[in-house]
Amino acid sequence: MRDSVQENLKIMGETHSNGGSFDKVRIMGECAISGSIEARSCKVMGECTVSGDLTSGYFRNMGEVTIDGMLTAKEARLIGETHVKGACTFKQASIYGELSAARDLSGEEIKVHGVLNVGANVSLERLMMRGGILVDGLLNCDQIDIVLKINAQNYVKEIGAGSVTIGKQHKIFGRAPLHLFHAESIEGDRLFLEYTQAKVVRGTDVVIGTGSKIERVEYSGTYKTSGPVEVGEVVQLTAHE
């Protein structure tokens, strides 16, 4: 932060405020902030709109927040609805409500128990999904672990990862119907895909599991199927391909 000693910003009720640099920001009510906010910690328990960027060491939203610019936080816990018109950057984030980002999202680790909706690309080290995901661009991660939920819609245009696991919690849901996970293409070193529909799956070691519908599989290591699946063309790649 810019100053060694900073004021706190505490808002209760319905009001307007200017942006600035603060130590702690607490919003309980309905507030419109003109400009950007920079804080060591920011907690929202109401409705808040920010006309600029929001930068915080710790960001917690238990209400509804709309940010016209970028959202940057070392740690975020999003329980309500968070709408960001710019890009998002997190070191760690937990999403229990809904995060909607119009532009790129990047960070280290994100856990999603609610809904993640990104209009561009996502770049992370690890993604753990227990909710719904919609990504209009490339989802690029070292590790992706997705557990499908009943009635959750899931679509990612392209996936590129070290390892990808997509499936459901069999003991909890039993034979309850699921919406398939949809992707145009999925590429990674180690792939285990259940209840997944994709045009192209490309990897080193590939397992196509129960309920999946894949038009084309390309693999260079091992290829297996598990359970009832629909697979079109299967191609083993050589070292020169």
Q: Answer for the pair 183, 155: CB distance below 8 angstroms, yes or no.
A: yes
Q: What is the pLDDT of residues 19-43, one digit of tens each?
A: 999 999 999 999 999 999 999 999 9
User: H helices of the chain, where?
Assistant: 170-173
Q: Residue 240 — left, alpha, or beta (φ > 0 → left; ψ -120 to 50 → alpha)?
A: alpha
pLDDT band at 239 (very low <50, low <70, confident <90, very high): low
Q: Answer for the pair 193, 208: CB distance below 8 angstroms, yes or no.
A: yes
Q: Where are the domains of the chain?
A: 8-103, 113-241
Spatial CB neighbours of 75, under 8 Å, sequence gap ≥ 6? 57, 58, 59, 90, 91, 92, 93
103: helix, strand or coil: coil
Burial of 58 (0-12, 13-18, 19+ CB in 10 A): middle
Amino acid identity at 230? E
Q: What is the pLDDT of residues 159-214, one digit of tens each?
A: 999 999 999 876 554 555 678 999 999 999 999 999 999 999 999 999 999 999 99
* pLDDT for 217 beyond 80: yes
What does DSSP assign to residue 86?
A: S
> What pLDDT is attached to residue 223?
98
